[in-house]
Each structure stands twice: as structure tokens, then as C-alpha cells.
Chains A and B, each alone.
Chain A
Amino acid sequence: MTEPDLVGLPGDPTTAPFWRAAREHRLMLQRCTACGAYQFYPRPFCLSCFGLDLEWVEASGRATVYSKTTVRIPVIEEMPPPYVVAIVTLDEGPRLTTNLVGDEPAIGDRVSLTWRERPDLPPLPVFQRLAGDGGGRSTAQMGAG
């Protein structure tokens, strides 16, 4: 394996494939070739069966809001408050910390992937209300199918 090119990437060799794909607006997860478990963030082994053979697969980009908070204090320069930080559960299973953008979804609502561009770094995967989702939980169930 050649030395990964980390120039302009925020991560380390293990997470570099994630950020390279992010540049192309693709949200990548690891999947274990032995047991099929998905995982995020990337690691060199499967957390479910401890296998070492993992492949990168593109996530569906559909998720459900697990929790969220509106941050009302300044934290990082590039994000003036208020803004929403959330944890979403991807349809594939793994959870990730993210932002909710646009018409603000509630906990339990279905959301879909979009991207926030950054000046010197790869874009960040963020989430918005799933198009056509009314926000009701029954609709969310249908959306999950």
C-alpha cells in the first residue's frame, strides 16, 4: 500500500479515505467483509467480529435524528452561533455527530445527507429534513423503508 497523501486532509492514514471521498460528496462507511457490520469512524479492524478485512462502501445518506442541541455560545470561528449540533443514526447503523441545516428537524425525524463546504478542508457531511417528510413519526417509518 502506498503512503496516503494527507495533504489538505484533516485526518490520519486510517481516516484519509473518508475525507478523500468527502471531497466528492460521498459519505463512506467501513463494512466488514466477514460479518457485514458497518462502522464509523474508521478503524483497522471490525468492532463486531474483530476481523481485519474491511471495505469502504457509500452510505445511503438517510438517517434518523438521535439527539440534537442548539449551541448558543461561540465555539469555533467559522460557525457563529446559534447553530444545531446533532447525533444521527444512519440507516446502515452507525451514528455520527453532525449539524442539522435548513428547516430544523426534531429528534426522531428522518433526515438526508447534504454537504457544508469549508475553505481549506474537505466538506463536512451535514443533514437536513428528508424531502417529503412531514416530520411525523409514521412518515418517518415509511421513509425508512
Chain B
Amino acid sequence: MNLRPAYIAGVAETPLGEVWDHSELSMAAVAAHEALTEAGLTFADVDALFTNYMGEEGTVQLGEYLGIMPRYADSTDLGGAAFEAFIHHALAAIHAGRCEVALIAYASRQRTRRSRRMTRESDNSTLGAQFELSYGLPGPLGHYALIAARHMYQFGTTSEQLAEIAVAARSWAVMNPKAWSRDPITVEDVMESRLICDPLHRLDVCLVTDGGGALVVTTAERARDAAKRAVRILGAGESQTHWSIAQMPDLTRTAAVVSGREAFAMAGITPADVDVLEPYDSFTITVLLALEDLGFCGKGEGGAFVEGGRLAPGGALPALTSGGGLSYNHPGAFGLLLLVEAVRQLRGEAGERQVPGAGIAVAHGVGGLMSTASTVVLGHD
């Protein structure tokens, strides 16, 4: 089957950090304009729209705001993994001839609005309210803490090993002028930060910031006028496992087992081919499990794998190169910004934090309560 290839032809971040002079919609519009300009396209060219967490009915409010009446729309709710899944879906839609120019956009002001809640169940008849929240389990923090505790019990993973991931993220953030947290930290700093849900410390947990971004996915023909080199989508995959944490079949195996297998098979690559990895880092344990489930190391070996700065600048597997959700920005659904960073690394425009000769990049989204995963492999023709 000879499917026409699809490309990411434009990327942009919205304003980041604390944003007081925008609405979410205006942030997304500014980023969309920048990404489309980079792609050599305009709002008039967009015939497919992808977003979520921008208000009721997903794409509908954003579409109106941007003046887009798409012939293909998708507001799939996979949490932090939604945006890598949108790439997957846009790729399939382009393959099937259902669209030519897909705009993926998102913005959040969760920091300035103080809208982040740990008690997400407002209706006490939901399964979550009956069987989780009534026990005081904070979401998603408590769910990830239970996963980390089980991984430690089963494989001997240590808090120091998890801390290595936060330290690696921060060491990249030091080189990113847009990062929220840029002061260098050590493993000891993470260990001495407040325990909030054992075994997770404050510095094992991502930031809460405003932010977002936009991506343009299109065909080779439409990407021809792009201002910068378009990056090819080589593979994509997604999956999900559970919502209630007690329903997760194995706390140490995530949906990345399936999403990674699908994406890597489509791209015809193995983990050894990956030059730069952008794994979702809502928590340090999120990264550790992604490394195992995507096949960068064996099950249970993630702790030893991240030791010695392997993910940090100069390490064997450059990962979290923006500084990640742990140190750069985390606007609620961080997956879109993983893709922005992956594209910039492949274009060689990541400045001080550029990974030399990056040819294959993987963005891996994780959402919900370690519920969902979606993996995208990007590269050049």
C-alpha cells in the first residue's frame, strides 16, 4: 500500500508560564497563526481541526473563533495523550483523503485561573466518586504514587532513580529560555523536597503553568511553501488501559506497550534508532514506565537505565529536551508541546539544547490516570 506521506509543516507555542493578557482562545489563535505562517498556509487552507479542553463540544468553539468550518473534526479526549493521538488521526485522515491541512491547537490558563483540582468528581454517583475519591485518593497524583510504589516493591526501583529523571529535565531546562524552572537541581534536592504522596516528592511532580501551542499537519504538496523544513510523520499509535486505578491490569505496564509497538512498527524503527525522546513527564514515574514499555530498556530496568544522567545533556538518550512538564511548562495537557520540541530538534533549531544530528525523534503522550498513551515517530524523508 503506497500511502501519501504526511508532514508537520508548522509548529508554535502559545505564550507560556503565567498569561494575563490573553484568553485561552486568543492564545490558541496566535499560536495557530504562527504555525500556519511557518507552514506557508493560512486559516483559509485549514480543512481539519483538532482540539480538546477548550470548552464544550471540543473543536466547535475553537472552529468558530478561528473562522474554520472543517470537513474533518476530532476532539478525542485522551488527556495528555490527546495530541499525539491527533497526529495519529490526522495521518489516517490524510491517508484516506479526508483532509489536506489539519490544524491541531490548544491553550490553557490553568495556572492563572487556579482551575486545577485533585477532586475531579463533582457527581457523587460516578464510579470514581464511589470507589476512589471516598478513600481520599487525589487524582492524578495518588494514582501515579500507587504505580511508583508498586514498581519499587516489584523491581527495587529507588526514589533516587526517579529523582534522576527530574534532574535530567531540569538540566535541559537550564538551557531553555522559555522554561519556567531554570535553577539547577540535584538528586538530593529532589529527595529533600516535601513528600506529598509517598514515594513521590514535590520535585517528582510536574509544574502547573499556562500555555499551549499549535501544529499544522499536511501533505508534501501543501508543505512545499513552508518557511522551514517540514518533518515527516513516520509512525503513530495509541492505546488505553483503565480509568479506575484498581482496574489497571498491571500497575507496572502501561498503554505504551501497544502505542509504542504500533508506532515503531509503522515507522520501521526500533528504540535504538531514536536520537531524541520527548516522553510525557507528568511525574518522574511516567517517564520511567515509558522507557520500559517503549522498549528502551527491559521491564523493571528503568531505574538503573536513567542513572548516570543517561537522559540529560550529553547522555546516551537525550530526553525531555525542553525541560519537560517537570521544568519547562505544563499547561494541563502537555502532549502538544512534546511535538513542538521534537520538530524543533529535528530541524536543528533548538539552540543551546540542540541534540547534534537528530534524525529520528519520538514524542510520547500519557494521559488521564496513567490511562492512555500515544506515540509519534518523526523524521526526515
Could you list which residues of chain A lie within 8 angstroms of chain B, going by C-beta atoms?
10-12, 15, 19, 41, 66-73, 75-76, 79, 81, 83, 85-87, 95-99, 107-108, 118, 121, 124, 126
Contacts and interface: CB of A to CB of B under 8 A. Distances in A.
A121 B118 CA distance: 21
Interface of B: 118-119, 124-125, 127, 129-138, 141-142, 145-147, 149-150, 153, 194-200, 244-247, 251
Given A83-B136, A85-B142, A97-B137, A10 B150 contact: no
Contacts of A79: 136
Contact of B153 (A19, A67, A118): A67
Contacts of B137: 71, 75, 85, 97
Nearest to B138: A75
Given A12-B125, A66-B251, A72 B198 contact: yes
A87 B146 contact: yes
B196 A73 contact: yes
B146 A67 contact: yes
Contacts of B146: 67-69, 85-87
A16 B149 CA distance: 32
Contact of B197 (A11, A41, A73, A98): A73
Contact of B130 (A15, A75, A85, A118): A15
A76 B133 contact: yes
B149 A71 contact: no
22 contacts: A10-B130, A10-B134, A15-B130, A41-B127, A66-B251, A67-B146, A67-B153, A69-B146, A69-B197, A69-B199, A70-B197, A71-B197, A72-B196, A73-B141, A75-B133, A75-B136, A76-B134, A95-B246, A96-B131, A96-B246, A97-B137, A107-B150
A87 B125 contact: no
Nearest to B129: A10
Given A12-B125, A87-B245, A97-B245, A69 B142 contact: yes
A41 B244 contact: yes
Nearest to A98: B135
Contact of A10 (B125, B147, B197): B125
A85 B141 CA distance: 12
Given A71-B142, A99-B136, 8 more contacts: A12-B125, A67-B149, A68-B146, A70-B197, A75-B119, A75-B133, A97-B245, A107-B149
Contacts, number: 98
A85 B136 contact: yes
A86 B150 CA distance: 10
A14 B165 CA distance: 43
A7 B372 CA distance: 35
Contacts of A70: 195, 197-198
A71 B136 contact: yes
A126 to B, nearest CB: 8
A124 B134 contact: yes
B165 to A, nearest CB: 18
Contact of B119 (A15, A76, A83): A76
Contacts of A10: 124-125, 129-130, 134
A124 B142 CA distance: 19
Contacts of B195: 70, 72
B136 A68 contact: no
Contacts of B129: 10
Given A69-B146, A70-B198, A73-B197, A124 B153 contact: no
B118 A75 contact: yes
A78 to B, nearest CB: 8
Q: Which of A66, A85, A86, A108 has most B Cβ within 10 Å?
A: A85
Contacts of A19: 130
Q: Name, among A12, A19, A41, A67, the residue most crowded by chain B CB atoms within 10 Å (CB to CB).
A: A67
Nearest to A107: B153
Contact of B251 (A67, A85, A98): A67
A99 B196 contact: no
Contacts of B199: 69
B130 A69 contact: no
Nearest to A70: B198
A127 to B, nearest CB: 11
Most chain-A Cβ atoms within 10 A of its Cβ — which of B141, B197, B251? B197
Contacts of B136: 71, 75-76, 79, 81, 83, 85, 99
Of A71, A76, A126, chain B has the most CB atoms within 10 Å of the CB of A71
B196 A97 contact: no
The 4 lowest CB-CB distance pairs between A and B, nearest first, are A69-B145, A67-B150, A79-B136, A107-B153
A80 B198 CA distance: 16
A17 to B, nearest CB: 13
A75 B376 CA distance: 35
A121 B131 CA distance: 13
Nearest to B141: A73
